[in-house]
């Protein structure tokens, strides 16, 4: 499940950066960013929950919830509750922080479960 989450996040980065730089004009393709966003938020909630073989880790909890925060921010942009370039940049930053946190949590889980 973690690998699916990581792949989905990288597709999301590509779509987001592509849109930001005007490379994704097709609305159908762009709307994937919203549906994929929901998938990402659900996957991270499921995949990064407490694990019997891992010690509780606040950074893992941050990785679990940051995509949801990014999604809620994005949905507020979509509903025109958050407007303007600065709001979009904050959203992009939240998205990139999500990628970093999920990468860290995935690597840490892999190491711990391999017994290293
Ligand atoms: C957890 C990851 C992410 C989620 C859940 C997410 C979700 C969303 C949602 C729901 C919207 C509103 C859609 C709309 O206005 O049509 C949005 C807009 C946007 N997202 Fe993301 N996003 C994520 C990551 C990213 C990343 C990493 C980037 C770029 C680095 C990015 C760039 C953008 C841009 C530029 C917009 C606004 C585009 C526009 O208004 O034309 N997103 N995102």
| Shortest-distance Cα residue to atom 30 of ligand 1 | 92
| Mean pLDDT, contiguous 10-residue spans, the chain (116 residues) | 97 97 93 97 97 93 98 98 97 98 96 82
- Assess whether the C-beta atom of 24 lies below 6 angstroms from ligand 1: no
- Assess whether the C-beta atom of 63 lies below 6 angstroms from ligand 1: no
Residues 31, 65 contacting (CB under 8 angstroms): no
> Which ranges of the chain does DSSP label H, i.e. alpha helix?
2-20, 27-47, 58-78, 85-113
Burial category of 10 from C-beta neighbours within 10 Å (exposed 0-12, middle 13-18, buried 19 and up): exposed
pTM > 0.75: yes or no: yes
- Assess whether the C-beta atom of 44 lies below 6 angstroms from ligand 1: no
């Amino acid at each position: 499940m973690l690998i699916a989450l990581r792949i989905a996040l990288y597709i999301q980065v590509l779509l987001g950066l592509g849109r930001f730089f005007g490379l994704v004009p097709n609305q159908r393709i762009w709307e994937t960013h919203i549906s994929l966003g929901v998938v990402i938020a659900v996957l991270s909630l499921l995949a990064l929950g407490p694990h019997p073989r891992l010690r509780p880790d606040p950074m893992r909890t941050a990785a679990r919830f940051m995509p949801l925060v990014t999604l809620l921010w994005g949905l507020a942009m979509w509903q025109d509750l958050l407007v303007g370039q600065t709001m979009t940049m904050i959203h992009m930053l939240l998205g990139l922080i999500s990628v970093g946190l999920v990468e860290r949590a995935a690597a840490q889980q892999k190491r711990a479960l391999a017994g290293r």
